[in-house]
């Protein structure tokens, strides 16, 4: 049983500010946490989270990746589909993320990064508003063929779906409206590509649907939706987290200034230390007993990736931010059949962005008093991250 004093609320704003103390308590005192009143469970140790990720038959994705009721009832997203259909879908859409296709995006990402940096106008910059909110959306929009003039609106709808009122699992009314608008927009875009295909990924998916019958219309919509949400929001927040922690640990930032070749290692440490995807939900297809606690069939719960990435049972000195760590085995992108399909693209965006941003920002300082965090049960990061940049 859980200790009486231990209450984990993934939607508490206090948790969003700093979840790592409660994660440690979960790992130490209730590694199989069960909240019967609110009807969810949570796994927090690295070994347990990884084992659950490898057992998709029991820890099913079919009812959605968030805790709210009916989370899996929208258009089917790859991340919310179990085998055998998941295997078929992943094989089809993985062609969008071949090493060659991802590598071809480096120069467009670099050009977009330099353009955004060129618009920095003074010594005070909001890393999210002035850079990180734009770059991932620009990349995903280019892949899908979304016009530049529509990207701000898509970003607004996407943001609305992340926010939760304190203590609530459910989407807000604004979030439901955002989801409806986003699906409607993508439905219209799919119809346009059916009439007039282009060189973009969406046209490829429509071709698979039309010519081969390999994808349903709903599956095409679901994949587009996943790209807009996961491909945009998580990378935006991850980039903000990187700038924040490199600001908090200037000795680590100095290492990157001395040797930019360490940037890929630094990205892996940010992924381990404070990943943007903190957790994803699963539903149990049978009772599971772990650590003398029985988690009941049919109940949804959370696999706490971010807690697993700070587990002392797996990592040495896990609360130390060390860009030279070599953190192989972190679970920021999941593991197993649902390992993030866009991981290589996210790493590329992060590398190029940091290669361009860090020299431009110099010895910046984060204005912690005015930072604002997103309030979401799954995603951790900033909605505003103001920094002060030294004048030159």
**Computed from CA positions of residues 210, 216, 221, 224, in that sequence, does the dihedral angle turn out positive or negative?**
negative
Tell me the C-alpha distance between 305 and 46, whole Å.
Answer: 8
**Rounded mean pLDDT for each run of 10 residues along the chain, 392 residues in total:** 86 93 97 95 98 96 83 66 85 79 91 93 91 91 88 86 75 83 90 87 80 75 83 90 98 96 97 96 97 97 98 96 92 93 93 97 95 90 94 65
Structure tokens at 136: 């991932």
What residues does each domain of the chain span? 13-388
pLDDT at 349: 96
Q: CATH class for domain 13-388?
A: mainly alpha
Contact call for residues 345 and 283 (beta carbons, < 8 A): no
Strand partners, 41: 34, 301
Residue 109 backbone class (left: φ over 0; alpha: ψ -120 to 50; beta: rest)? alpha
Longest dimension (CA), the chain: 62
pLDDT score at 91: 82
Q: Is the dihedral of CA 196, 198, 203, 207 positive or negative?
A: positive
Q: Tokens 């994705």 — which residue?
A: 61
pLDDT of residue 392: 57
Residue with tokens 């070599």: 326
Distance of CA 185 to the CA centre of its chain: 22
Q: How much is the pLDDT for 176? A: 83
In this structure, how many other beta carbons lie within 10 angstroms of the beta carbon of residue 383? 19
């Amino acid at each position: 049983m859980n200790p009486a004093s231990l209450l984990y609320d993934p939607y508490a704003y206090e948790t969003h500010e700093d979840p790592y103390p409660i994660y440690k308590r979960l790992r130490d005192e209730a590694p199989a946490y069960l909240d019967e009143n609110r009807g969810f469970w949570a796994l927090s140790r690295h070994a347990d989270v990884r084992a659950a990720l490898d057992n998709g038959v029991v820890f099913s994705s079919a009812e959605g990746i968030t805790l709210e009721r009916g989370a899996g009832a929208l258009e089917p997203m790859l991340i919310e589909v179990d085998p055998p259909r998941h295997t078929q879908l992943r094989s089809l859409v993985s062609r969008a993320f071949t090493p060659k296709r991802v590598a071809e995006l480096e120069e467009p990402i670099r050009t977009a990064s330099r353009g955004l940096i060129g618009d920095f106008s003074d010594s005070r910059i909001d890393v999210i508003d002035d850079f990180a909110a734009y770059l991932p959306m620009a990349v995903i929009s280019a892949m899908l063929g979304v016009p530049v003039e529509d990207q701000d609106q898509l970003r607004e709808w996407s943001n609305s779906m992340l926010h939760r009122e304190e203590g609530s699992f459910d989407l807000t009314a604004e979030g439901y409206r955002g989801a409806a608008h986003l699906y409607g927009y993508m439905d219209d875009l799919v119809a346009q590509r059916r009439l007039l295909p282009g060189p973009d990924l969406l046209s490829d998916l429509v071709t698979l649907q039309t010519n081969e019958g390999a994808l349903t219309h709903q599956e095409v919509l679901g994949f587009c939706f996943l790209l807009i949400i996961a491909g945009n929001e998580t990378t935006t927040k991850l980039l903000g987290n990187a700038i924040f922690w490199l600001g908090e640990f200037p000795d680590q930032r100095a290492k990157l200034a001395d040797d930019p070749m360490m940037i890929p290692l630094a990205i892996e440490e940010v992924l381990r230390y404070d990943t943007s995807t903190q957790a994803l939900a699963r539903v149990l297809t049978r009772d599971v007993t772990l650590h003398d606690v029985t988690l009941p069939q049919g109940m949804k719960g959370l696999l706490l990736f971010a807690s697993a990435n700070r587990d002392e049972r797996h990592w040495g000195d896990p609360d130390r931010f060390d860009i030279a760590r070599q953190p192989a085995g972190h679970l920021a992108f999941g593991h197993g059949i649902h390992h993030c399909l866009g991981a290589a693209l996210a790493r590329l965006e992060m590398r190029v962005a940091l290669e361009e941003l860090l020299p431009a920002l110099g010895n910046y300082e984060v204005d912690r008093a005015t930072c604002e965090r997103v309030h979401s049960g799954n995603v951790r990061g900033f909605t505003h991250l103001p920094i002060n940049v030294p004048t030159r």
